[in-house]
């Protein structure tokens, strides 16, 4: 017959074994949770890095307008294809929520944040495609040169420090000044009617930003006005020039001292200077730079 005093010992031993099993179970749960954290972080960090690199690649694309458009289309297809990778991250995030995992020391990214960044990148790709198509159409139909369009685009990218595809109002103003716009310097808080008039065109809703598409539409519109004005003046000089010559003579400009003093001598196709001939085409175009 077992002594009565042995029963408490057996009970304590059973409790101890139960406690040990619970601790082992909890340890396995924590290890599995940590693996889940690491797997989520691995995919999330890689996805975020891809977003950053893709945005930079798209914004810094160079070459002809057509080559930029084709490269942007390919990148946009890649962006759409990466939606499946985002779905995997979202599934891992859902598994973490189900496991009541509220923290992750291996990453600073969340499914919501990455989804927002992917959506912004997708929209940027669509805007850039539309903008390049807009530039190609402007070049082909309005007379705005590809060199001018490249200069506008390059200047925008220079001031778009965060590569978001948009400028705040101060960045936009600095961009315009760099392109030769003579905007007055005003103190902060003081009225700036000239700049406000430009904002009425590019940012009528005053959301605080000017997108690449809005900026290029504005610049193309201004450049188109210059091209049209330039063509009108060229036509006037052509009317002065007898027989439609690409130059005017001093006699034909007998009342235009300003033109004579500012026009360069006309050089023919072999680089020879023609006596008393002035290059009105070069003169007219120089008037409408920027």
Question: Is 252 within the bounds of a domain?
Answer: yes
165 vs 256 pLDDT, higher one: 165
- pLDDT for 290: 45
CATH number at residue 85: 1.20.58.60
3-class SS of residue 4: coil
231 vs 46 pLDDT, higher one: 46
Tokens of 186: 């005003």
pLDDT digits (tens, 9 = 90+) for 53-106: 999 898 888 889 999 999 999 999 999 999 999 999 999 999 999 999 989 999
What integer best gives the mean pLDDT of the chain?
A: 84
CATH number at residue 245: 1.10.238.10
Question: Is 160 within the bounds of a domain?
Answer: no
pLDDT digits (tens, 9 = 90+) for 206-242: 899 998 889 988 888 887 776 555 666 666 666 667 6
As to burial, measured by CB atoms within 10 angstroms (0-12 exposed, 13-18 middle, 19+ buried), residue 28 is exposed
Contact partners, residue 287, CB within 8 Å, separation at least 6: 230, 233
Question: Is 4 within the bounds of a domain?
Answer: no
The answer to whether 158 and 59 have CB atoms below 8 angstroms apart is: no
Question: Is 116 within the bounds of a domain?
Answer: yes
Give the whole-angstrom CA distance, residue 263 versus residue 71. Answer: 43
Phi and psi for 210 in degrees, rounded to 5?
A: -120, 115
- pLDDT for 116: 96
**Residue 246 sits in the same domain as residue 132:** no
Considering its fold, how many domains does the chain have in total?
Answer: 2
Backbone torsion region of residue 271, taken as left when φ is above 0, otherwise alpha when ψ lies between -120 and 50, otherwise beta: left
Give the domain-ending residue among 141, 176, 197.
Answer: 141
Considering 20-29, 125-134, 188-197, the range whose residues carry the highest mean pLDDT is: 125-134
- pLDDT for 1: 47
Give the domain-ending residue among 120, 141, 162.
Answer: 141
Question: Is 201 within the bounds of a domain?
Answer: no
Question: Is 104 within the bounds of a domain?
Answer: yes
The answer to whether 224 and 181 have CB atoms below 8 angstroms apart is: no
User: Is the pLDDT at 258 greater than 60, yes or no?
Assistant: no
Give the domain-ending residue among 83, 111, 141.
Answer: 141
Question: Is 233 within the bounds of a domain?
Answer: no
Question: Is 190 within the bounds of a domain?
Answer: no
Q: Where in the sequence is the domain holding 70, given as residue range(s)?
A: 14-141
């Amino acid at each position: 017959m077992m002594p009565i005093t042995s029963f408490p010992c057996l009970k304590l031993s059973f409790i101890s074994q139960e406690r040990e099993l619970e601790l082992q179970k909890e340890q396995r749960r924590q290890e599995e949770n940590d693996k889940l954290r690491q797997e989520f972080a691995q995919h999330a960090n890689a996805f975020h890095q891809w977003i950053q690199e893709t945005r930079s690649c798209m914004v810094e694309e160079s070459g002809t307008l057509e080559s930029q458009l084709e490269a942007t289309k390919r990148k946009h297809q890649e962006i759409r294809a990466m939606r499946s990778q985002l779905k995997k991250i979202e599934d891992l995030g859902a598994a973490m929520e189900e496991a009541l995992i509220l923290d992750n020391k291996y990453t600073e990214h969340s499914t919501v944040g990455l989804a927002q960044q992917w959506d912004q990148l997708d929209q940027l790709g669509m805007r850039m495609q539309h903008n390049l198509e807009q530039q190609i159409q402007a070049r082909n139909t309005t007379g705005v040169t590809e060199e001018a369009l490249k200069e506008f685009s390059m200047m925008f990218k220079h001031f778009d420090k965060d590569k978001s595809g948009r400028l705040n109002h101060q960045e936009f103003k600095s961009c315009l000044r760099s392109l030769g716009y003579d905007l007055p310097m005003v103190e902060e808080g003081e009225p700036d009617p000239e700049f406000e008039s430009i904002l009425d065109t590019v940012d009528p809703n005053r959301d605080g930003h000017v997108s690449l598409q809005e900026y290029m539409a504005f610049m193309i519109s201004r450049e188109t006005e210059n091209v049209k004005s330039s063509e009108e003046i060229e036509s006037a000089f052509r009317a002065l020039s007898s027989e439609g010559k690409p130059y005017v003579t001093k006699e034909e400009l007998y009342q235009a001292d300003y033109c004579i003093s500012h026009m360069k001598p006309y050089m023919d196709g072999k680089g020879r200077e023609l006596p008393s001939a002035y290059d009105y085409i070069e003169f007219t175009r120089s008037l409408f730079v920027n």
